Amino acid sequence: MELKLIEEQTLFLKNLETQGKSFNTVKNYKADLNCFNEFLANKQKNLKIKSFTLTQVNEYSHYLNEKYGSPNSIRRRVQALRLFFDFLILKGVFPENPLKKMAVSPKVLDVPRPTPFIQITKFYQHLQKDLKHAETPLAKCVASRNIILFHLIYGAGLKVSDLASLPFPSILKEKDGHRVLVQHPKRDPYSIPLPKLFSRDFKVYKELYFEQMKTDSVEFDTLLFNSNPYRMISGALSPRGTELLFEDWRKKLKIEITAKSLRQSCIFKWINLKIPDTTIKEWLGVAPNYTLELYTDVLIKKPMDYVFSEMEAVHDS
């Protein structure tokens, strides 16, 4: 029986969604599987297979090496296809995983490319001005939400996947400020201290957030929200929604900033503040064997290029 790849891949991607994988993760898997589909279409002119032999595995390996210069790009596409074949085996529609015969180069860690601190201050001041000049209650609430988003990434080093479904009660009040509680299904919860300026901005956001929910007759338990120009639509801000926000800010402010680069700036900030490596790893939610050497190496080479601090001294006059 020939295997119809597109139909099976669609089921595989839907299965990822039901597992709670983010929009971006599923999109990336789809792109990686499309690479395999292109290979098959060029090789045999159809997307139906009865088997995938060692010869074809080696040919696909050569195809990836020719098409992509980055070992990480190749590794990701092989891993996506390996997981897809594991899915087929579990369904009982394929006998074995042919990708286990394919050697994969070790992961290469990318050199950090943080947003420079001068651009971060410009960005934060822009967010404050948006709030100051917002003309409607909803616009004020959205602008205030964006400031909280900034603090959660640059202040606490959260990833967009962490932010997507963060509950409002995850913000914990302490004697001297706030912390954010991060909970993952496969590891113990942990909390990260937020900068002092967060408390001031969060007080504003909390008032605007609950007042706007009342106005729009909606009720969410997530910290962030999605809206159109007229009303709140839903709780949570998807990873894709966050990326689109950063795309707009990049174009408007003409600065190189993404959620990832802002998070990397946070890591440099923590290193500059002499936070112990073990604590930084805990706050990042990574394994103890995760290394910060890439950050410390570039910091040693060009220390003045990687000076980051908290936002306490940055105010919109």
Task: Provide mean pLDDT across the span 125-139.
Answer: 96
With bands split at pLDDT 50, 70 and 90, how would you rate the model's confidence at 302?
confident
Q: What pLDDT does residue 147 have?
A: 97
Which residues have CB under 8 Å from 206's CB, separation 6+? none
Q: Tell me what the mean pLDDT of segment 164-184 comes to.
A: 92
Give the pLDDT score at 287.
80
- pLDDT band of 69, cuts 50, 70, 90: low
Residues of the chain with CATH 1.10.150.130: 3-101
Can you say whether the dihedral through the CA atoms of 247, 248, 249, 250 is positive or negative? positive
Q: Calculate mean pLDDT across residues 217-223.
A: 94
Q: Which residue has the higher pLDDT, 22 or 290?
A: 290
Over 90: is that where the pLDDT of 122 sits? yes
Q: What is the pLDDT of residue 20?
A: 75
The pLDDT of residue 2: 55
What pLDDT, on the 0 to 100 scale, is given for residue 316?
43
Average pLDDT over residues 248-259: 94
Assigned CATH for 3-101: 1.10.150.130
pTM of this structure: 0.71
Could you give the angle at the alpha carbon of 283 between the alpha carbons of 280 and 284, nearest 5°?
85
Over residues 43-61, mean pLDDT: 71
Beta pairing, strands 48-49 & 177-184: unpaired
DSSP state of 94: S
Q: What does the H/E/C string look like for 275-289? A: CCHHHHHHHHCCCCC
DSSP states of 153-175: IIIT---HHHHHT-BGGGEEEET
Q: What per-residue confidence (pLDDT) applies to 228?
A: 92
Residue with tokens 């603090």: 151
Say how far apart CA 97 and CA 62 lie, in whole Å: 19
315 has a pLDDT exceeding 60: no
How distant is the alpha carbon of residue 209 from its chain centre? 24
Tell me, what's the pLDDT at 90?
87
Q: Outline where DSSP puts E strands in 59-205.
A: 171-174, 177-184, 187-193
48-49 and 3-4 beta bridge pairing: antiparallel
Contacts of 39 (CB under 8 A, 6+ apart): 59, 60, 63
Pairing of strands 232-235, 225-227: antiparallel
**Residue 248 pLDDT > 70:** yes
Q: What percentage of residues in the chain have a pLDDT greater than 90? A: 49
Is the pLDDT score of 70 beyond 80? no
Q: pLDDT tens digit string along 183-212?
A: 877 678 999 999 999 999 999 999 999 999
- What six digits make up the tokens of 305? 């290029």
Which class does domain 117-306 fall in? mainly alpha
Of the chain, the percentage scoring pLDDT greater than 70 comes to 91
Is residue 172 helix, strand or coil?
strand
Check: CB of residue 193 under 8 Å from CB of residue 273.
Answer: no
pLDDT greater than 60 at residue 105: no
Task: Give start-end residues of each CATH 1.10.443.10 domain in the chain.
Answer: 117-306
In angstroms, the CA 116 to CA 138 distance is 31
Cα 12 to chain centroid distance, Å, stands at 22
State the chain's mean pLDDT as an integer: 87
- On the question of pLDDT at 120 being above 90, the answer is yes
Beta partners for residue 222, in sequence order: 167
Q: Is the pLDDT of residue 1 over 50?
A: no
Q: Distance between CA 137 and CA 119 in Å, rounded?
A: 28
Structure-model confidence comparison of residues 75 and 229, the more confident one: 229
Q: Is pLDDT at 304 greater than 70 in this prediction?
A: yes
At 314 the pLDDT is: 57
Collect all residues with Cβ–Cβ distance below 8 Å to 21 and sequence separation of at least 6: 29
**Residue 75 above 60 pLDDT?**
yes
Contacts of 200 (CB under 8 A, 6+ apart): none
Does residue 317 carry a pLDDT above 50?
no
Tell me the backbone φ, ψ of residue 12, rounded to 5 degrees.
-60, -45
In which residue are the tokens 């805990």 written?
282
What's the rounded Cα separation, in Å, for the pair 201 and 204?
5
